[in-house]
Structure formats: structure tokens, C-alpha cells
């Protein structure tokens, strides 16, 4: 059985194919992402996407000396979905 990519058609439920099984076979591990409603399109139909953790870099203004432009943070999927960051 092959790995299944999580997409909106399967409600963001997929799996990884893991070849590190002790018996030499492959094992399917769950790959579940957040099924996120992003709003409505021009025809009034809902727009869905699969959200997962995202890495964001800091955008520091020049006047803030305490902000490091090297900083970054992992943002959880629910925040990405609710804040419409993408």
C-alpha cells in the first residue's frame, strides 16, 4: 500500500510510508493535518485547505533594538488557519 497525501478531497487525512519496520516491510503511519475553512469564494462556496505547522521568521523594525532578525517561531496549524497567515 502506498502513502496517501493529506489533501482537502480526503479531509486532510493521509499517511506516511515508514520503511523502518523490524520485519522488513513497510508500515503506514498517520499523517493528519487540520482541515481548515478559509472562507467563501466569489460564488459563495467554502474554500478549504490543509493546515499544518509553519515556520515564520521575525520582521523587525529598525527602531526596535530588542528584536533579533535571526529569530523564528513554529506556529501551530490552528493559528495558521484562524489568522489567515497564508
State pLDDT tens for residues 39-72: 888 999 998 888 888 888 877 777 777 877 788 8
> Where is pLDDT greater, at 73 or 18?
73
CB 18 within 8 A of CB 29: yes
CA distance 31 to 12: 8
pLDDT band at 21 (very low <50, low <70, confident <90, very high): low
CA dihedral 9, 12, 13, 16 (to 10 degrees): 110
In terms of pTM, does the model score above 0.85?
Answer: no
Q: What angle do CA 85, 45, 43 make, to 5 degrees?
A: 105
Provide the 8-state DSSP code for 9: G
Say what the pLDDT of residue 3 is: 77
SS3 80: helix
Closest CA to 33 of 83, 80, 86: 80
Phi, then psi, of 35 in degrees rounded to 5:
-85, 105
Amino acid at each position: 500500500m502506498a502513502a496517501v497525501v493529506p489533501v482537502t478531497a480526503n479531509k486532510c487525512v493521509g499517511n506516511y510510508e515508514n520503511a523502518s519496520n523490524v520485519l522488513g516491510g513497510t508500515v503506514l503511519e498517520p499523517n493528519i493535518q487540520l482541515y481548515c475553512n478559509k472562507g467563501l469564494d466569489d460564488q459563495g462556496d467554502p474554500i478549504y485547505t490543509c493546515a499544518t505547522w509553519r515556520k515564520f521568521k521575525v520582521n523587525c523594525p529598525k527602531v526596535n533594538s530588542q528584536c533579533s532578525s535571526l529569530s523564528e517561531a513554529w506556529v501551530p496549524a490552528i493559528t495558521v488557519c484562524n489568522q489567515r497567515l497564508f
